[in-house]
Amino acid sequence: MITLATLHRTVRAALEEDAPWGDLTSTSLLPAEARATADLGAREPGVFSGGDVFAAAFTLTDPTVEVDLHVADGDRFEAGDVLASVQGSARSILTAERVALNFTQRMSGIATLTAAYVDAVDGTGVRIADTRKTTPGLREFERHAVVSGGGSNHRRSLSDAVMAKDNHLAVLRQQGQDLGSALRDALSRLPHTTHVVVEVDRVDQITAVLTGGADTVLLDNFSLEDLRAAVDQIAGRATAEASGGVNLDTVRAIAETGVQVISVGALTHSARALDLGLDVRVG
């Protein structure tokens, strides 16, 4: 969920970036009293996300602008659908237009890609999750978009869970420390509510991870055969999560190995902006 403070701070920063000294074109060309009504139209099908962000771009520019959202976050739409309408000062609407579109196109693109992954694993019970591979400063917006598309959020930040990855394990080996012992020692010092995830890239690493008390075993770049073997070995003692080598062509087969979670960095780092446009009504 995007907090109001985060929403306003991020949108204000984007508006200031786009018009640091005002909108030179609108203020010099358009009469101050000119009013306009504009529609947010879909030029391709998708899943909507970012309604509150879209509205904030206009209302933070000018509180008198009225925004009417015709769809909710998570709704699917077709090309040609009108997703929202905006009315008020023409100058204000055109000043906020690009920022509003940039956010909504980006977020709807993420939601649409996420929905494609969720659809691909339908019926398996597997969760599709995001990662920390997000645009700096926009993580909360992009995580929200993943949820709009039916996906799940992974840990929010480095402060929210223990997640020991390959480089952490390499340092432990360099220091001559046993993984199982290091995990047990860490758990003894952590709050009992802390979730612990450990990434492995070989089946023979799993025993130490389970012995150490990890809550989730992250199976990185495993073959389908090794994923099935890993799920059998974990045997419900921890959550089995798969990552690496995941795309829309492979995700179904990965889900059918028995893992409970598949994390997909592409949801946020590779989603393209959806083609949406804001068109002023004429006549």
Q: Which of 52, 220, 256, 275 is catalytic?
A: 220
User: Does the annotation mark 281 as catalytic?
Assistant: no
User: Does the annotation mark 75 as catalytic?
Assistant: no
- What is the C-alpha to C-alpha distance for residues 64 and 278, in angstroms, rounded to an integer? 18
User: Does the annotation mark 98 as catalytic?
Assistant: yes
Closest by alpha carbon to 183, among 213, 204, 205?
213
Contact 153, 147 (CB under 8 A): yes
Measure Cα distances from 95 to 14, 21, 27, 53, 61 in Å. Answer: 12, 11, 9, 15, 8
Measure Cα distances from 281 to 41, 63, 76 in Å. Answer: 12, 21, 24
User: Does the annotation mark 220 as catalytic?
Assistant: yes
Measure Cα distances from 273 to 45, 62, 83, 179, 279 in Å. Answer: 12, 26, 16, 42, 18
Q: Which of 76, 132, 155, 165 is catalytic?
A: 165
User: Does the annotation mark 165 as catalytic?
Assistant: yes
- What is the C-alpha to C-alpha distance for residues 104 and 56, in angstroms, rounded to an integer? 11
Q: Which of 133, 228, 237, 252 is catalytic?
A: 133
Q: Which of 76, 98, 237, 252 is catalytic?
A: 98
Whether the CA torsion 145, 88, 14, 97 is positive or negative: it is positive
> Residue written as tokens 């087969």?
253
Q: Which residues of 158-194 are buried (b: 16+ CB within 10 A; e: fewer)?
A: eeebbbbeeeebeebeeeeeebbebbeeebeeeeeee
End-to-end CA distance of the chain: 39
- Positions marked active-site: 98, 133, 165, 199, 220
